[in-house]
């Protein structure tokens, strides 16, 4: 039987087909089990492909439902000063990428958007919107990730149009006249990179898309809790959220003054007690003098 199997393999090879993937030394019973198992796997694969197609349709439908809600979310976020820059800087992973100069640039960031391709599987774009600023001419910094039918990734972005003296690197060339030193981990350097480092998937983009964009309030809230910005908003009035911790420092100074006032009050009360005692003694002296006069 084994010889017959070998002959069958040879015949398949001669006809230009693929040889059997199963070991030639396998018993007929084992070969039959392998064959049945392969049929089952083929059936599962067909179901998996169908499921993937239907999941994409569902994702597309839910993206349509999310769109008006995301628009409303952006409108509310627009009322909170420096919301996106704060959420980015306080993110436990992304925050490590920002230099002090990057943080100054982010103060001019007005909003962030993640736009999915209509068919979802083709890719997405990450968009940073900026108000007019002294650093670059661009109002939008866009980085797009595209996947072809084979799933191969390509990255597209436009070089940042830096203003004179404010240039950074575009990932390849460093302007020696620029004020900012070249660092490979600079966030805006990443924004101009079109090649995956070490062939790995761009984790920064995945974090922005899957974590920060999905729930930015979580990371902004961590900053609120850490700096007690709500309490500061009450004390500072028009500064609102994200305005820094100057109010907290003033409150601390105020507390110190109150403590000093309490000490002065206690000290004055003690002095007052002393003065009352002196007055009493004077009155006694006056009575004594009066008695002396009467005696005379």
The residue-averaged pLDDT of 143-150 equals 90
The larger pLDDT score, comparing residue 103 to residue 27, is at: 103
Per residue in 49-82, pLDDT (tens digit) is 999 889 989 988 999 999 999 999 999 999 999 9
* In the block, residue with structure tokens 């597309």: 60
**pLDDT of 182 higher than 50:** no
Query: Which 3-state string (H, E, C) describes the chain?
Result: CHHHHHHHHHHHHHCCCCCCCCCCCCCHHHHHHHHHHHHHHHHHHHHHHHHHHHHHHHHHHHHHHHHHHHHHHHHHHCCCCCHHHHHHHCCCCHHHHCCHHHHHHHCCEEEEEEEECCCCCCEEEEEEEECCCCCECCCEEEEEEEECCCCCEEEEECCCCECCCCCCCCCCCCCCCCCCCCCCCCHHHHHCCCCCHHHCCCHHHHHHHHHHCCCHHHHHHHHHHHHCHHHHHHHHCCCCCCCCCHHHHHHHHHHHHHHHHHHHHHHHHHHHHHHHHHHHHHHHHHHHHHHHHHHC
**pLDDT of 102 higher than 80:** yes
Q: Phi, psi at residue 286, to the nearest 5°?
A: -65, -40
Pick the closest to residue 174 from 157, 192, 158 (CA basis). 192
**pLDDT of 292 higher than 70:** no
Pick the closest to residue 27 from 1, 46, 45, 53 (CA basis). 1
Lowest mean pLDDT among 27-36, 139-148, 190-199, 202-211: 190-199
Instruction: For residue 109, name the pLDDT band (cuts at 50, 70, 90).
Output: very high
pTM over the 0.75 mark: no
How far is Cα 51 from Cα 29, in angstroms, rounded to an integer?
Answer: 33
The larger pLDDT score, comparing residue 44 to residue 259, is at: 44
**pLDDT of 270 higher than 80:** no
Structure tokens at 277: 């005692």
**pLDDT of 283 higher than 50:** no
Pick the closest to residue 205 from 166, 147, 160, 148 (CA basis). 147
Per residue in 225-234, pLDDT (tens digit) is 655 554 554 4
Per residue in 7-55, pLDDT (tens digit) is 444 444 444 545 566 666 778 888 889 889 999 999 999 999 999 889 9
User: Coil, helix or strand for 179?
Assistant: coil
**pLDDT of 156 higher than 50:** yes
Angle among Cα 163, 168, 174 to the nearest 5 degrees reads: 120
Beta pairing, strands 140-147 & 153-157: antiparallel
The residue-averaged pLDDT of 275-280 equals 46
The residue-averaged pLDDT of 209-222 equals 90
The CATH number of 83-234 is 3.30.1120.90
Q: Phi, psi at residue 113, to the nearest 5°?
A: -140, 145
Angle among Cα 152, 154, 157 to the nearest 5 degrees reads: 165
How far is Cα 167 from Cα 192, in angstroms, rounded to an integer?
Answer: 12
Question: What does the pLDDT read at residue 42?
Answer: 95
The residue-averaged pLDDT of 198-212 equals 81
How far is Cα 258 from Cα 252, in angstroms, rounded to an integer?
Answer: 10
How far is Cα 1 from Cα 141, in angstroms, rounded to an integer?
Answer: 68
Lowest mean pLDDT among 72-81, 125-134, 160-169: 160-169
**pLDDT of 273 higher than 70:** no
Question: What does the pLDDT read at residue 189?
Answer: 80
How far is Cα 173 from Cα 7, in angstroms, rounded to an integer?
Answer: 63
Helices (H), 90-208: 100-106, 187-191, 203-207
């Amino acid at each position: 039987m084994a010889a017959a199997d070998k002959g069958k393999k040879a015949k398949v090879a001669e006809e230009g087909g693929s040889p059997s993937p199963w070991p030639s030394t396998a018993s007929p019973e084992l070969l039959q089990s392998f064959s049945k198992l392969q049929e089952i796997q083929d059936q599962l694969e067909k179901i998996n492909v169908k499921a993937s197609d239907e999941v994409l349709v569902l994702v597309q439908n839910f993206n349509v439902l999310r769109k008006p809600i995301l628009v409303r979310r952006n409108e509310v976020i627009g009322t909170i000063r420096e919301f996106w820059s704060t959420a980015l800087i306080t993110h436990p992973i992304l925050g490590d990428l920002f230099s002090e100069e990057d943080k100054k640039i982010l103060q001019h960031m007005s909003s962030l958007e993640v736009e999915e391709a209509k068919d979802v599987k083709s890719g997405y774009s990450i968009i940073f919107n900026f108000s007019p600023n002294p650093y670059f001419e661009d109002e939008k910094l866009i980085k797009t990730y595209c996947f072809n039918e084979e799933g191969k990734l390509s990255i597209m972005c436009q070089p940042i149009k830096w203003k004179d003296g404010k240039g950074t690197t575009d990932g390849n060339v460093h302007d020696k006249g620029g004020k900012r030193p070249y660092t490979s981990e600079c966030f805006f350097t990443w924004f101009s990179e079109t090649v995956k480092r070490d062939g790995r998937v761009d984790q920064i983009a995945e974090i922005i898309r899957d974590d920060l964009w999905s729930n930015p309030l979580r990371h902004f809230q961590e900053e609120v809790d850490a700096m007690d910005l709500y309490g500061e908003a009450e004390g500072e009035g028009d500064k609102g959220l994200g305005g820094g911790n100057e109010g907290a420092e003033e409150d601390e100074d105020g507390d110190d003054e109150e403590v000093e006032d309490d000490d002065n009050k206690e000290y004055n009360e003690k002095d007052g007690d002393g003065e009352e005692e002196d007055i009493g003694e004077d009155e006694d002296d006056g009575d004594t003098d009066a008695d002396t006069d009467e005696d005379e």
